[in-house]
Structure 1
């Protein structure tokens, strides 16, 4: 090996070990970075001269290096308890973008699931990458025709989901009327229901004993029951029991054993009530008419209204339980993500609706991805085919909710690498110094 070859080899060694130290430094700095993949340096000797014709090979070599990341190495999963945090256990990446318009060229990929909702309602991670998903109906069924197409993705925007309410459709009535009440005695009950806008209305029922085992019930809506919501005098209640005409009064007849017999002369069963004339501040033109089914029990049974003696000095209604399925108007209070990648909007009235599903992108050669920043990667030919699928399908990993994937960096291993690189760097520097002295000796001999 000539002095020039020795000089080149020493310089290449310095460069290679400098790169190794840089990788160690980066790894240690990212030991706490979510989903960071350890950067590795691999070295290779490059032969620069070999005299094949000679029986003695004269070889001068330099060292080359290349960097890579352990893309398939799984980081440990740590539970955070944050509902917007998600981790992938297994292969795959979240699809993200830094462009809210989500142009096709803007698709990038990350395993960093440290997401939160920003002021615009978008789910972004700590690298300001916007999470993409597929819109669903309220039951979590993806609405896109082709779920495997990147064009089916859109930024997950929780602000696109307004407040929600659920109109009352069914009211279940369990109650005992006092058999020992006097004729003409009256009792009042009331129950709450909600119109399509989620505005609360109170229906008042006045019970009057008109004969032995016979009662009438008058239904009305006399109250202003919510801020800005009025039930005006023009509001009417129509009770449809299957008989001709509409009315707001029903007649209940009981058997001698206390079970319910008939309602308006018809075998006791569920019947519909129509309430018209609602007006609310949420809708200047008023909510639509409300129709709900009133279930007060079945004929000759004790599964709704009953009539037994109260055994009290002052008889009164007892065992009153009224349940209805409507829900008041509610504002969005947060989002949750489950292990199927379903993003659920949670409202302060208890309603929960699915709004998006998060797919997972996998590549045939994830080692070929291009690292463009931090934990964000771009696809290229070396990465192979991209497959977009649901969590747990095919080679796609599963989603761990309320959790984050930790860095794959092992600091003890990195410090060991640092010592080795430092020693190798010092040795290469010593070679460089020795070659310099040999050059000086050669020049002195020539002079």
Structure 2
């Protein structure tokens, strides 16, 4: 009997050592929650047993209790690293059953499709929201993997350009004669007075080369104080077809534009391009572009990402204002110790844990979400090492009890012989 009692002590001490070693091994695991083993004593009872002379039968492992305490939060600077400050778990799509799983480990990143995943490839779940951050649903069934597009918007070719220029009041730029004796030729700088490149977009939103040329056709004389420039365009090295009405800009003696108002539409194989020079002037300053605007659009790339304390994910594309694309969902349980651990600091619900209570960061019963930080393991290494020494002594004591019991049994056997 004493041998069996000593064996239960050995098994209990071994379980304690194994659990403590597991805690120590995960001291660097993000979001890890330490555990402890709980034991109960064994008694063999019968209706005829005398309670005053009962002797116990050893010990047994009752449960492994997880200690859900806040771990230290360390700053990482990575927007996809999330730390929970307070109770709750991140809700994930994946886990042992392919269903939902729960974890406090918030080291997330993006997969090739832009979905937010953890190191195991499980998707971070969130609620749908409007672009201003207003929640569209709090129904747990509406939770979906949070997906962040790398680009947004649709590409559109430039169809209109607004160009506000300043022309010098005197001189003819590079042009050899006024009017030009050789006719306009984009390859001959002496055939035009001034030129300026224009940054416009093709149908795919990609920049293409376009140049506006200005050929001086008239300058102030005894009969007129006006200066006139003919407009020519080239698109990817080829001259564009001008409109039927000669595209000319006219300025009076005061530098005010008196002709050339309204759109001028040029055409090429890629389509029409409408120019508007309203606002241009002539002065004593050098030729310059005072303002340039074009209506083409390119796909806007993700330029910034922020995750608020309530879990709303704000994405900025290009220079536009940030838009909300989802809200991180959190879960909590009436009995977190009833959760089943499946590795990687991840759990799945069981009948003992109960159904999850779903909510968002900062709500009642849930901690706040801190972006750019991670929750470390809540293992106290010093305390675990001290406990390991205690467990080792318990093991040695049980081994000594087993040795003593074996020695007594051997003595009895020797007496019989």
Give TM-score, length-normalised by structure 2. Answer: 0.72
Taking a change above 3 Å as real, the CA distance of residues 162 and 174 of structure 1, as seen in their structure-2 partners, is closer
Aligned-residue offset at 1:98: 3.7
Aligned-residue offset at 1:425: 0.9
Aligned-residue offset at 1:32: 1.5
Asked if structure 1 preserves the Cα contact closer than 8 Å seen for 2:124 and 2:328, the reply is: no
Aligned-residue offset at 1:169: 9.1
The equivalent residue for 1:224 is: 236
The equivalent residue for 1:176 is: 166
Taking a change above 3 Å as real, the CA distance of residues 9 and 322 of structure 1, as seen in their structure-2 partners, is same
Are residues 1:192 and 2:199 paired?
A: yes
Give 3-state SS (helix, strand or coil) of 1:421's partner.
helix
Give 3-state SS (helix, strand or coil) of 1:380's partner.
coil
Asked if structure 2 preserves the Cα contact closer than 8 Å seen for 1:363 and 1:383, the reply is: no
The equivalent residue for 1:364 is: 333
The equivalent residue for 1:111 is: 104
Residue 85 (structure 1) aligned to one of 74, 81, 84: 81
Taking a change above 3 Å as real, the CA distance of residues 55 and 192 of structure 1, as seen in their structure-2 partners, is closer
Asked if structure 2 preserves the Cα contact closer than 8 Å seen for 1:168 and 1:327, the reply is: yes
The equivalent residue for 2:186 is: none
The equivalent residue for 1:128 is: 121
Aligned-residue offset at 1:173: 5.2
Aligned-residue offset at 1:36: 1.3
Q: Which structure 2 residues correspond to residues 20-39 of structure 1 after superposition, within 5 A?
A: 20-39=16-35
Larger Rg: 2
Aligned-residue offset at 1:59: 4.0
Taking a change above 3 Å as real, the CA distance of residues 344 and 219 of structure 1, as seen in their structure-2 partners, is farther
Unaligned 5+ runs, structure 1: 226-230, 238-245, 266-270, 280-285, 298-304, 311-315
Are residues 1:15 and 2:11 paired?
A: yes
The equivalent residue for 1:242 is: none
Give the Cα–Cα distance (whole angstroms) in 2 for the partners of residues 52 and 250 of structure 1: 120
Residue 69 (structure 1) aligned to one of 50, 60, 66: 66
Give the Cα–Cα distance (whole angstroms) in 2 for the partners of residues 58 and 384 of structure 1: 40
The equivalent residue for 1:317 is: 287
Asked if structure 1 preserves the Cα contact closer than 8 Å seen for 2:149 and 2:302, the reply is: no
Aligned-residue offset at 1:21: 0.7
Aligned-residue offset at 1:421: 0.1
Asked if structure 1 preserves the Cα contact closer than 8 Å seen for 2:201 and 2:298, the reply is: yes
Give the Cα–Cα distance (whole angstroms) in 1 for the partners of residues 252 and 141 of structure 2: 65
Aligned-residue offset at 1:192: 1.5
Aligned-residue offset at 1:39: 2.0
The equivalent residue for 2:182 is: none
- Report how many aligned residue pairs link the two structures: 391
Taking a change above 3 Å as real, the CA distance of residues 84 and 291 of structure 1, as seen in their structure-2 partners, is farther
Give 3-state SS (helix, strand or coil) of 1:37's partner.
coil
Give the Cα–Cα distance (whole angstroms) in 2 for the partners of residues 59 and 290 of structure 1: 100
Give the Cα–Cα distance (whole angstroms) in 1 for the partners of residues 341 and 268 of structure 2: 63
Asked if structure 2 preserves the Cα contact closer than 8 Å seen for 1:140 and 1:342, the reply is: no
The equivalent residue for 2:145 is: 154
Are residues 1:204 and 2:212 paired?
A: yes
Give 3-state SS (helix, strand or coil) of 1:431's partner.
helix
Give the Cα–Cα distance (whole angstroms) in 2 for the partners of residues 436 and 219 of structure 1: 110
Taking a change above 3 Å as real, the CA distance of residues 37 and 90 of structure 1, as seen in their structure-2 partners, is same
CA-atom RMSD, angstroms?
4.6
Are residues 1:409 and 2:379 paired?
A: yes
Q: Deviations over 1:366-418 (max 9, x none)?
A: 33221122311101233344233343334333333333322222222211111
Asked if structure 1 preserves the Cα contact closer than 8 Å seen for 2:332 and 2:357, the reply is: yes
Aligned-residue offset at 1:153: 0.8
Taking a change above 3 Å as real, the CA distance of residues 426 and 276 of structure 1, as seen in their structure-2 partners, is farther
Give the Cα–Cα distance (whole angstroms) in 1 for the partners of residues 200 and 43 of structure 2: 85
The equivalent residue for 1:243 is: none
Give 3-state SS (helix, strand or coil) of 1:417's partner.
helix
Asked if structure 2 preserves the Cα contact closer than 8 Å seen for 1:44 and 1:64, the reply is: yes
Asked if structure 2 preserves the Cα contact closer than 8 Å seen for 1:114 and 1:126, the reply is: yes
